[in-house]
Structure 1
Amino acid sequence: MAGAGGAAPRGSAGDVTIRAGVAGQPIIQSLSPLLHSAWIAAAGVDATYEAFGPADAAGFAALVGEVRSGRLGGLNVTAPFKAQALALADEVSVIAQDCGSANLLVFKDGRLIADSTDGRGLMGALVEQAPALDVRGKPVVILGAGGAARAAAAALRDAGAFVGILNRTRARAEALAADLGVAIVDVSATGEAALVVNALSVRPEIDLRMLPADAVVMDMTYRPLVTPFLAAARARGLAIVDGLAMLIGQAVPSFEAFFGQSPPAVDVRAKALAELGEAG
């Protein structure tokens, strides 16, 4: 979404308070308000970031109307409204189009613009927690074929990886592969994978002993922080990347789009871990 993060800082003295937020159902467990509120406080921005739980598609559409009217400065979107967010937009970024969903809506120059920052969050998490990994020209395997898998596949494809989709329902894998120009693989592909990403909401049935000794394993889930899948990978001696790092990474460009500046240097991960009751 060109230019979303390059605007002058907003919410300064004399401006009206900027309201932004996240919409989903259920929404009570979202950590996005905690992250953004910590950045807002540290930056001294006159802004709020709220959690919205529309009951249905009509309720979400009404909330998007608040963005169009200017009463909301922007909106992050989570399940089950990410596909609807894309459909309601006037302009869609290339990456959101590839993902088939959007997690960020802003109103700019009379147009509702949809973007997806999930892929940027994933790549940022890899840089942070697996800095030795270079996916260029390397095989990676993504477990799942839903929206999260699409975001991962698009980001890793664009980073130069050879992306393979492993999913129990072949039709969904075929649709993803056709849309994004990636491959469908079977479980044997994990034997050569430099990276395996779990984009499922459950623990995958993968024999981690098949993975190369220098492989990296990532789980998009962050409740718990170290999922059983990641715990098994760590026990195998593999490098792991958790879903909280991805969540924080995808929030950064959203903050920039809403408030016109980069988040200040605040340890929001520590705040999130405390909220999750995790030691870190």
Structure 2
Amino acid sequence: MTRPYAEVIGDPIAHSKSPLIHGFWLKKLSIDADYRATHVTADGLADYFADRRADPAWRGCNVTIPHKLAALDHVEDRGDVRATIGAINCVLRDGDALIGTNTDAGGFYAPIADLDLTGQPVVVVGAGGAARAILFALSRVGVGRVTILNRSPLKGAALLATFGLKGDALPLSAKLPSAALLVNTSALGMTGQPPLDLDLTPLPDDAIVYDIVYAPLETPLLQAAAARGLDTVDGLQMLVGQAAIAFELLFGVAPPEGCDDELRALLTQ
């Protein structure tokens, strides 16, 4: 019998740490299954899902850049994700059906769940699939005005309207407003991408800077925030948080407890 497996798909995908995370948990729990990374282009997305639908060993996949929106067209949307977050990052098998869901919102919020963001101003950089999940989470905790910085301000304005958030949509070149939380949801700062060049001076001393990029782990944005003495949240925290939710969905058991430090050491070596 073929071993069950799951995977992460994207373009590019070589940088993904998801196989390390899921592989670590599978080994800890002595589960006889695999988790791998698979390069899938936009043109190959439909064929990918058709092939996997026919493979009984396939448990599902995580979905990363740039497929979080497009993958919705190839799966069932039983949780009405299209009408809420509008993007998926996880696909699960249910018999012959493929079900799309999103674990990014929960993964993003987990590291900052102890903060009281009620009525607080927030800045979000980017307006892609990850931004949608993050704005969804922020809308649920009652944040104040949200400023979206994006290459296309019109796209940012549409997202504010989608999630019922008050605020402004500005170009990336705009001056950073004061905010309690700054979140980079874009690929800027990722290995092979231009850095996210922001003047952090307008942020108050108790602001938090959160960068969901994890390759490199210490992005130029987080370096600049640390130099200013600001608290930071790196991309590994969201990555592991969303992966924990996905792991339980894919393999039917929660990740092992008490080994977060060991996992982080593995991911940062």
Provide TM-score, normalisation by structure 1.
Answer: 0.83
Aligned to 2:130: 148
Report the AA paired with residue 217 of structure 1. V
Size of the aligned set, in residue pairs, is 254
Shift of 1:92: 4.4
1:93 equivalent to 2:79? Answer yes
Task: Output the CA distance in 2 between the equivalents of 1:155 and 1:219.
Answer: 16
Aligned to 1:253: 245
Give the conservation status (yes or no) of the 8 Å contact 2:176–2:199. Answer: no
Deviates most, 250-259 or 64-73: 64-73
Report the AA paired with residue 182 of structure 2. V
Aligned to 2:162: 179
Taking the TM superposition and a 5 Å limit, the aligned residue runs for 1:120-269 are: 120-127=106-113, 131=114, 133-162=115-144, 163-185=146-168, 190-191=177-178, 193-202=179-188, 203-265=195-257, 266=259, 267-269=262-264
Give the conservation status (yes or no) of the 8 Å contact 1:67–1:107. Answer: no
Shift of 1:36: 0.3
- Counterpart among 12, 23, 31 of residue 37 in structure 1: 23
Task: Output the CA distance in 2 between the equivalents of 1:38 and 1:214.
Answer: 35
Q: Unaligned 5+ residue runs, structure 1? A: 1-14, 275-280
Shift of 1:154: 0.9
Give the conservation status (yes or no) of the 8 Å contact 1:66–1:72. Answer: no
Distance 1:239 1:254, change over 3 A: same
Q: What is the CA deviation profile of residues 109-139 of structure 1, one whole-angstrom value per residue up to 9, with x for unaligned ones? A: 5532111111111112324xxx4x2212322
RMSD of aligned C-alpha atoms? Answer: 2.1
Sequence identity percentage: 40
Give the conservation status (yes or no) of the 8 Å contact 1:123–1:155. Answer: yes
2:248 aligned counterpart, secondary structure: helix
Shift of 1:196: 0.8
Task: Output the CA distance in 1 between the equivalents of 2:208 and 2:217.
Answer: 16
Distance 1:34 1:87, change over 3 A: same
Shift of 1:152: 1.2
1:64 equivalent to 2:49? Answer yes
Task: Output the CA distance in 2 between the equivalents of 1:221 and 1:253.
Answer: 19
Give the conservation status (yes or no) of the 8 Å contact 1:197–1:219. Answer: yes
- Counterpart among 67, 70, 75 of residue 81 in structure 1: 67
Structure showing the higher helix proportion among its residues: 1
* Higher RCO (Cα < 8 Å, 6 or more apart): 1
Deviates most, 252-261 or 206-215: 206-215
Task: Output the CA distance in 1 between the equivalents of 2:158 and 2:42.
Answer: 27
Aligned to 2:267: 272
Report the AA paired with residue 223 of structure 2. A
Shift of 1:66: 4.1
Distance 1:55 1:217, change over 3 A: closer
Deviates most, 84-93 or 95-104: 95-104
2:100 aligned counterpart, secondary structure: strand
1:80 aligned counterpart, secondary structure: coil
Report the AA paired with residue 177 of structure 2. T
Distance 1:190 1:198, change over 3 A: same
Task: Output the CA distance in 2 between the equivalents of 1:216 and 1:156.
Answer: 14
Report the AA paired with residue 49 of structure 2. V
Report the AA paired with residue 125 of structure 1. P
Q: Unaligned 5+ residue runs, structure 2? A: 189-194
Task: Output the CA distance in 2 between the equivalents of 1:134 and 1:232.
Answer: 24
Deviates most, 157-166 or 237-246: 157-166
Give the conservation status (yes or no) of the 8 Å contact 1:96–1:116. Answer: no
Report the AA paired with residue 166 of structure 1. L
Taking the TM superposition and a 5 Å limit, the aligned residue runs for 1:1-16 are: none
Shift of 1:145: 1.6
